[in-house]
Structure 1
Amino acid sequence: MTVLHDYATSLTQATLPLPGGDAGEAARFDEVIGPEGTLRPAWKALAAATLSLTPSEVDRVDAEIASALADDGVTYTHREGTRPWRLDPFPLVVDAASWSRLEVGLAQRAELLNAIMADLYGDQRLLADGVIPAAAVVAHPGFVRAIARPSIADRHPLLMTATDLGRDADGEWRVLSDRVQAPSGLGYAMENRQVISSLLPELYQEADLHGLAPYFAAFRDALLRSADAGDTDPRVVVLSPGTHSETAYDQAYIANHLGFPLVQGSDLVVHEGSVWIQPPRWPRSKPVDRVDVILRRVDSTWCDPLEMRGDSRLGIAGLVEAVRRGRVHVVNGLGAGVLENPALLAFLPGACERLLGEQLRLPAAPAWWCGDREGLAEVLARLGDDHGSVIIRTLDGTAVAGTPDELRARILAHPYRHVGIGRLPLSHAPVWGRGSAHSRPLALRAFTMRHGSAYRTLAGGMATTWDHDGSPLTKDVWVLKADASEPDQGLPAASPVDMIPSIPTLAPRALEDMFWAGRYAERAEDLLRLVVATHAHFDRAGSGRDLAGAVLLDVLHRLAGTRWLAVDDELRSLLLDDDRLGSGAHALARMRGALEGVRDQLSGDTWRVFSLADRAKAAVRESRHSPQIADSAERMLTGVLSLHGVTANMIRDSGWHMISAGRYLERSLQLCTLLHATTTSTDAAATDRAVLDGVLLAAESLVTHRRRYRGYGGTRSVFDLLLKDLDNPRSLAFSLERLRVHLAALPDSTGSTRPERLRDELAGTLDGVDVALLAAETEGRRLALAEFLDTTARDLRQLSEAIADLHFAGGPPAMQMSSLSLIEEMARA
């Protein structure tokens, strides 16, 4: 039997009038199977491909989807932590006729919400005439009083809206909520499409559906055109709360796909009434890159600590004033969060007639504001019914739980703060899990954008459903074309624009992230090589090899401390323990964190590094066999090495130079630690040679040494190759030379800055070192070598601090303004 045949059979059986059954379940609309048990019109067009799908094929695709999403590093952050993004193999398919009716309603709704917001922060006619009760608006936390004045009201504050929808029992779409504060999900929708189209190519090619790419091109064009008309080369940025945001991936995807910098509040500064990219050493240096448009993903109340939440570290001090002066355009406009107020659902029909002179086309779930006498009576009456037909929410959208008596008491204490929302019997769709398709409820998030003078709805979107255990997962949304000749999204081909190439200036925070990404990448690579070399010594038998392995293990302990006495347990810990400072797992985790902050600058291939590492770590956890340690370390090393190829294709801007500078500085430090293994010699020549071979292997120079010195050239040859050989990419001399090149290429370098001077001193000291003196022994100790390595490591750390002082310092730290007035804070400062 095929998957959809089994699914249709299960639905037909579920609707039989069983004694004691819930008749309400039979009224649910199914997205795939009609009441007669046949495919709905949208799915009939795909019948040839879908009806032949077997459970084993869908299982394979489901596993490949999870792997593809992991390779792309797609995540979603929740209260419980970061979770993998989940995508169901079955898309939500909508036929052209059904979608046409929906998109008209969505376009009207976006136009209405835009008009309501312009009125609430402008003339406030709706409040004055009682179309919308003032108490339902001013009590909402998203209403920003600082910009509520007609003189600065924006006629077009909404560029993008998102609408959450569900079907009722008759299959009609109804609005569940509006998302206009910082509508998210467009990046996830594009990722879903890319994955599904590549893993179900036969199904995708058979479906004549709208592609998503033209909509993104139109979105980019709309953002550029939202700048002041006089700007010939407007600068657009995407403002993010940071890598811990719930939808950090979505924000980075949008920035990367549109080609706009992803910034945080600390990356921007208001100067002379305008918003600028904050330069290094601000405020001593003058900003040069002005920002014209901010696509914000930070809630309004957190956007300006001077005029809104004083404890915010996410916003830009002075942003509201810059908006008032018209120096920057914020998308969506500050204060848009008030439109997410569930109380407005009850008053939108009246507002539509007042502002647009039209009937509201797209109905919402029934809603009653408890601040209204009739609404309060309706909600209280519904609290006691047996079907739980009403959901209680506060004005900010938070669901309120409790017994009917508890809810009644809470509502009566503050009626105007509560809203009753009628519960819809959401439509169902097949969801794959445990080897079969299960019928689960579904909601759709649709996106609408102002393009030119009208609002246009994305022919697609993102559907959310829940699997058998209640965990959320998503579906791609396929909107079929009415005719094969219809252009994607109904949009004409993008018109050519003037070519104005530019390389945006990176903020100090982004440069710092890239510097540390380079350092942690090198740290992980070097430690993994050392784990492989150490394991090889303990894994092989032979005279002197265990002692040589112990010397290399001591180097690992110098890097990461000691946790275990058993060698295998120690090496496993170095691969698995993220919280162990200096371990390979710790370096990979910190590298991932640093790269998340600059995700918009990077190729999607970057995240395969961590996908490979995660699978290798899983193999170590599952197996206690010693060979698995080396195998997983080598696989993790392969992932880290692939990062070289990714960064090699980056544009040679300051970010690339900073990654490279961090890499070569860390390589120099790691080499100093590694060479400490050779500062003590033994009477056994074989052991000394094994130690030196292990050091060369860990430094990826063993083959080079054999070729350069035709076998074993003695202790001096090892030090010469690893310290002074300018042709060896793993040597200290080579690293210092590359540091010179990369530091010189940074914008604030002059040739005489402190980092450049410190590097020159290091190179000069190394140039004057006598390798024979370093190799000399006194009572089994190479004292000169030990002193040189300690001094060099100290100077390298000093160089790192100097780089941070020059290129990362971005002015004084932010101060919370919640408990003291601005004047008091300035007086204390």
Structure 2
Amino acid sequence: MTVLRDYATTLAQPTLPLGGSDLGATRYDEVVAPDGTLRPAWKGLAEAALGLTPDELKRVNGEITRFLADHGVTYVQRGGGAQPWRLDPVPLVMEAPAWARLEVGLAQRAELLNALLVDLYGEQTLLRTGVIPSAAIFGHAGYLRPLVRPSAHDPEPLLLSATDLGRDASGEWNVLADRVQAPSGLGYAMENRRVISQVMPALYQEGDLHRMEPYFAALRSALLNSAPEGVTDPRVVVLSPGTHSETAYDQAALASTLGFPLVQASDLTVRGGWIWIKPPGWPKSAPAERVDVILRRVDADWADPLEMRGNSRLGVAGLTEAVRRGRVRVVNGLGAGVLENPALLPFMPAICQELLGEQLRLPSLPTWWCGDRVGLDVALSRLGEPGESFVVRSIDESRSAHADLTPDELRERILAAPHRFVGQERLPLSQAPVWSSEGRADAQPVVVRAFTVRYRSAFRPLVGGLATVMTTRAAPVTKDVWVVKGAPEDPDQGIVDVAPLEFRPSIPALSPRALEDMFWAGRYAERAEDLLRLLLTADAHLEELAAPIDSEHAVAARALLGVLRRLAGRRSDEPEEEFRSLLLDGDRLGSAAQALDRLRDALEGVRDQLSGDTWRVFAHTDRAKRALSSSQRSHRITESAGRMLTAVLSLHGVTASMIRDPGWHMIEAGRHLERALQLCTLLSSTTTVRYGVAADRDVLEGVLTAAESSVTFRRRYRGNVRTSGALELLLVDRDNPRSLAFAFRELRTHLAAMPASTGSTRPERLLEHLETAVDNLDLAALATPTGSRRPRLLRFFEGTRAQLMQLADSIGDVHFASGPPPQSLSTLSLTEVQGAKSS
């Protein structure tokens, strides 16, 4: 029995609840018709689809998980950490005629929402005539009064929209919600399609689907053409809330696909009514680049701390004024959030008739606004119905905002401000087969998110979309949405060609924030690599000696463990437990796990600048961690640490292919600065003490191995292990990539390539002092012991470490500083406010 045949057989059994419905209603099934046959969309895929066995889908599901992990596709839970993105292997398939009807309705709805937005912030005809009750608009937090003025008028404020759709029991599509504030999901939809096409090529090719690429080309063209009048070479950016946003991956993927910089609020500034990307050293150094179009993914009330939320760190102070002056185009318009108001849904048919002179093609989820008597009576009479078939929610808060209230408490809230609540039916959403961990396809309800872009003079829906399985799982489970072509010759997305806007190619300057992320990425990559090498070396010495840690034969192991403890403290006296903690505990300061986590965070902030291969590093380290966590065998430690080291080393290959811009130079600068710091720590903890002739040899061999210089040392000194020789190789040899002198030379090269460098900046002066000190080293004197120690050598390493820390701080001051952070006027004293006004 194949998966879909088994699924159809299960649905045909009358003793089983269809799809596990908890609403007492029959669900429409997306695959199987009531008579048990496949629906038309699936009939063309019958041969490939019906051949999918449980073993085949299990394999495919595993490959999907690996592909998504390799590309770092995540979803950040609100209030939690990043979770792996989940994609079901069975797509949601629609036939061309059915999609054509839906497409007309989506285009009409986008046009209607645009016209509604223009009216609400312009003539307000619908409010004056009572088509929309004023309380439903003015009581919504998304209605931004600073934009209700002629200077802020935008005849086309809506360029990109998303619509959440669900089928009712009869199979008719209903609009569940409009997403126009900062619609997300296009990046995820593109990733879903890419993965499914790779893991199930036979089924994908059999489908003859619409490719997505023309749609993204149309979106890019639409954004470039939306620039303010008179701009001939528009600069477009994607404004993100940051790496902790729920859909950070989606934002970065979209920016990368479109070829526009992904920026955060700290990257932008307003000068003279224009928006600028701040270059390093702003405003004293290089000229800034003006921004003409902002595709925002920051909610409007957080977008400008000057006129919206005063405590926002996600917005650009003065953005609203720049919009009013027509100096920048924000997509979608800042006031678009009011369209996500569920109180509008009952009035949409009348609004459509008034603004477009047409009947509304896509009905909305049955909704009652509590601001009128009929709606209030319905909501109160159905409050607390069993099975949650009816839900009462606020018009501008999350659905879960009142989840903890009893029916009586919620009733009291509603009566206190009825205009702020709506009551909504819960549809018996259509169901589709979803692959389960039990090895079968279970029927689960689904919601489809469709996307629409204004391209040229018309709104064009994406032929396809993103489906979400409505389960109680923490991370969403999604499906790729396939629309089968009506004829093979049909153009993809119905777009024959996309006429590109003429513009000059350029490489946008990286902001100080992006440069700082790259600098720390280099540092954390080197920190993780060096600590993993050190851990593997220490573990090898323990295993080779097979002696207790307190034995005189384990001096080298004790010395190397001492270095680890200096770097990351001590959690356990047992080496095995200590090694596990260093590899697994991301909360442990100085551990390899923490370095890898911080490396991932830093790279997430510049994801749009990086190759997709970057995220394979973390896919491999995550698998190594899981393998170590699931096994208590001691050999698993070295195996997992080795796999992590291999993954980190592969990052060198990824960055080697980057363009040699300031971002690449900052990665390399961070790498060599950290290498110098780690080397000073390693040598100061091991070579400044005399252990005895034999023990010194063991310790030096361990140090050379940890510093990846043992092969060179043996070839050069023919096995004659001496402290002076090791110091020569690791300190002053300019041809050894692991030496201090080599690190300083590379650091000078990369700092000199930065726009803010002049040859005489503080970082360059500090580095020159360090280089001079290394050039003038008297290695023989440093290696000469005084009793059991080498105090001059210790002073050199500790002094060099301190100077390197000063150098790191000065690099931040020169290359990453971009002025003081914005401060709310409410937190300033009266004297400070008066001083600000007088200046």
- Shorter-chain TM-score bucket reads over 0.9
**Which whole-Å CA distance do the structure 2 matches of 1:555 and 1:24 have between them?**
63
What does residue 497 of structure 2 align with?
A: 493
C-alpha distance after superposition, 1:154-176 (max 9, x if no partner): 00001100000000111011000
1:182 partnered with 2:204: no
**Which whole-Å CA distance do the structure 1 matches of 2:347 and 2:582 have between them?**
60
**Which whole-Å CA distance do the structure 2 matches of 1:501 and 1:195 have between them?**
31
What does residue 257 of structure 1 align with?
A: 257
The percent of aligned pairs where both chains have the same amino acid is: 63
**Which whole-Å CA distance do the structure 1 matches of 2:754 and 2:726 have between them?**
33
C-alpha distance after superposition, 1:653-672 (max 9, x if no partner): 11110111000000000010
**Which whole-Å CA distance do the structure 2 matches of 1:561 and 1:821 have between them?**
42
Q: Which of 710, 727, 744 is the aligned partner of 1:736?
A: 744
Residue 109 (structure 1) shift: 0.3
**Which whole-Å CA distance do the structure 2 matches of 1:187 and 1:782 have between them?**
58
What does residue 248 of structure 2 align with?
A: 248
**Which whole-Å CA distance do the structure 1 matches of 2:378 and 2:560 have between them?**
76
1:81 partnered with 2:81: yes
What does residue 278 of structure 1 align with?
A: 278
Residue 616 (structure 1) shift: 1.0
**Which whole-Å CA distance do the structure 1 matches of 2:706 and 2:61 have between them?**
40
1:214 partnered with 2:214: yes
1:140 partnered with 2:171: no
**Which whole-Å CA distance do the structure 1 matches of 2:828 and 2:719 have between them?**
72
1:659 partnered with 2:667: yes
User: Tell me, what secondary structure is at the counterpart of 1:114?
Assistant: helix
User: Tell me, what secondary structure is at the counterpart of 1:442?
Assistant: strand
Residue 822 (structure 1) shift: 9.8
**Which whole-Å CA distance do the structure 2 matches of 1:218 and 1:17 have between them?**
44
Go from structure 1 to structure 2 and tell me whether the alpha carbon gap of 1:684 and 1:424 turns closer, same or farther (over 3 Å shift): same
1:796 partnered with 2:795: no
Residue 488 (structure 1) shift: 1.1
The residue identity in structure 2 corresponding to 1:581 is L
Q: Which of 672, 682, 687 is the aligned partner of 1:674?
A: 682
What does residue 30 of structure 2 align with?
A: 31
**Which whole-Å CA distance do the structure 2 matches of 1:217 and 1:394 have between them?**
38
1:522 partnered with 2:521: no
What does residue 757 of structure 1 align with?
A: 765
What does residue 359 of structure 1 align with?
A: 359
Go from structure 1 to structure 2 and tell me whether the alpha carbon gap of 1:757 and 1:84 turns closer, same or farther (over 3 Å shift): same
Q: Which of 810, 814, 823 is the aligned partner of 1:815?
A: 823
Any conservation in 1 of the 2:25–2:169 contact (CA below 8 Å)?
no
The residue identity in structure 2 corresponding to 1:816 is S
**Which whole-Å CA distance do the structure 2 matches of 1:726 and 1:600 have between them?**
35
**Which whole-Å CA distance do the structure 2 matches of 1:78 and 1:172 have between them?**
32
Map residues 166-565 of structure 1 onto 2, 5 A cutoff: 166-285=166-285, 287-383=287-383, 388-399=388-399, 400-401=402-403, 402=405, 404-433=407-436, 434-466=438-470, 472-495=476-499, 498=502, 500-541=504-545, 545-565=553-573
Go from structure 1 to structure 2 and tell me whether the alpha carbon gap of 1:280 and 1:680 turns closer, same or farther (over 3 Å shift): closer
Go from structure 1 to structure 2 and tell me whether the alpha carbon gap of 1:426 and 1:669 turns closer, same or farther (over 3 Å shift): same
User: Tell me, what secondary structure is at the counterpart of 1:463?
Assistant: strand
User: Tell me, what secondary structure is at the counterpart of 2:110?
Assistant: helix
Residue 372 (structure 1) shift: 1.4
Greater shift, 509-518 or 390-399, is seen at 390-399
The residue identity in structure 1 corresponding to 2:97 is A
Greater shift, 408-417 or 99-108, is seen at 408-417
User: Tell me, what secondary structure is at the counterpart of 1:126?
Assistant: helix
**Which whole-Å CA distance do the structure 1 matches of 2:510 and 2:22 have between them?**
61
Any conservation in 2 of the 1:506–1:654 contact (CA below 8 Å)?
yes
What does residue 103 of structure 1 align with?
A: 103
**Which whole-Å CA distance do the structure 1 matches of 2:397 and 2:173 have between them?**
21
**Which whole-Å CA distance do the structure 1 matches of 2:450 and 2:691 have between them?**
75
The residue identity in structure 2 corresponding to 1:480 is V
Residue 310 (structure 1) shift: 0.5
**Which whole-Å CA distance do the structure 2 matches of 1:681 and 1:406 have between them?**
72
The residue identity in structure 2 corresponding to 1:215 is Y
Any conservation in 2 of the 1:123–1:150 contact (CA below 8 Å)?
no
C-alpha distance after superposition, 1:633-671 (max 9, x if no partner): 111001111110111111111111011100000000001
C-alpha distance after superposition, 1:537-575 (max 9, x if no partner): 001127965111111111111111111101111111111
The residue identity in structure 2 corresponding to 1:414 is A
What does residue 64 of structure 1 align with?
A: 63
1:45 partnered with 2:49: no
**Which whole-Å CA distance do the structure 1 matches of 2:16 and 2:97 have between them?**
31
Go from structure 1 to structure 2 and tell me whether the alpha carbon gap of 1:286 and 1:657 turns closer, same or farther (over 3 Å shift): closer
User: Tell me, what secondary structure is at the counterpart of 1:243?
Assistant: coil
**Which whole-Å CA distance do the structure 1 matches of 2:384 and 2:591 have between them?**
58
Greater shift, 685-694 or 646-655, is seen at 685-694
1:607 partnered with 2:615: yes
TM-score by structure 1 length? 0.97
Any conservation in 2 of the 1:677–1:691 contact (CA below 8 Å)?
no
**Which whole-Å CA distance do the structure 1 matches of 2:409 and 2:35 have between them?**
44
User: Tell me, what secondary structure is at the counterpart of 2:362?
Assistant: coil
Residue 784 (structure 1) shift: 2.0
The residue identity in structure 2 corresponding to 1:54 is T
**Which whole-Å CA distance do the structure 2 matches of 1:743 and 1:469 have between them?**
48
- Gaps of at least 5 residues in structure 1 are none
Q: Which of 777, 791, 804 is the aligned partner of 1:783?
A: 791
C-alpha distance after superposition, 1:297-335 (max 9, x if no partner): 100001111111111111011111101111110000001
**Which whole-Å CA distance do the structure 1 matches of 2:386 and 2:575 have between them?**
64
Residue 359 (structure 1) shift: 0.8
Any conservation in 2 of the 1:309–1:818 contact (CA below 8 Å)?
no
The residue identity in structure 1 corresponding to 2:613 is D
C-alpha distance after superposition, 1:170-218 (max 9, x if no partner): 1011000000000000001111111111111111111111111111111
Question: What is the RMSD computed on CA atoms of the aligned residues?
Answer: 2.1
Any conservation in 1 of the 2:221–2:499 contact (CA below 8 Å)?
no
Go from structure 1 to structure 2 and tell me whether the alpha carbon gap of 1:365 and 1:756 turns closer, same or farther (over 3 Å shift): same
**Which whole-Å CA distance do the structure 2 matches of 1:292 and 1:815 have between them?**
25
**Which whole-Å CA distance do the structure 1 matches of 2:6 and 2:297 have between them?**
43
**Which whole-Å CA distance do the structure 2 matches of 1:317 and 1:46 have between them?**
53
What does residue 732 of structure 2 align with?
A: 724
TM-score by structure 2 length? 0.95
What does residue 158 of structure 2 align with?
A: 158
Go from structure 1 to structure 2 and tell me whether the alpha carbon gap of 1:336 and 1:467 turns closer, same or farther (over 3 Å shift): closer
The residue identity in structure 2 corresponding to 1:660 is E
The residue identity in structure 2 corresponding to 1:452 is R
What does residue 627 of structure 2 align with?
A: 619
**Which whole-Å CA distance do the structure 2 matches of 1:461 and 1:664 have between them?**
45
User: Tell me, what secondary structure is at the counterpart of 2:469?
Assistant: strand
The residue identity in structure 2 corresponding to 1:64 is E
The residue identity in structure 1 corresponding to 2:419 is Y
C-alpha distance after superposition, 1:204-250 (max 9, x if no partner): 11111111111111111111111124222211111111111111111
The residue identity in structure 2 corresponding to 1:711 is G
**Which whole-Å CA distance do the structure 1 matches of 2:575 and 2:427 have between them?**
60
Any conservation in 2 of the 1:679–1:783 contact (CA below 8 Å)?
no
**Which whole-Å CA distance do the structure 1 matches of 2:70 and 2:499 have between them?**
34
**Which whole-Å CA distance do the structure 2 matches of 1:725 and 1:813 have between them?**
43
**Which whole-Å CA distance do the structure 2 matches of 1:468 and 1:384 have between them?**
20
**Which whole-Å CA distance do the structure 2 matches of 1:188 and 1:562 have between them?**
42
The residue identity in structure 2 corresponding to 1:597 is G
User: Tell me, what secondary structure is at the counterpart of 1:233?
Assistant: coil
C-alpha distance after superposition, 1:22-54 (max 9, x if no partner): 896562100000001111011111110111111
Go from structure 1 to structure 2 and tell me whether the alpha carbon gap of 1:785 and 1:387 turns closer, same or farther (over 3 Å shift): closer
C-alpha distance after superposition, 1:649-704 (max 9, x if no partner): 11111111011100000000001011124334546422211111111111111111
Go from structure 1 to structure 2 and tell me whether the alpha carbon gap of 1:57 and 1:489 turns closer, same or farther (over 3 Å shift): same
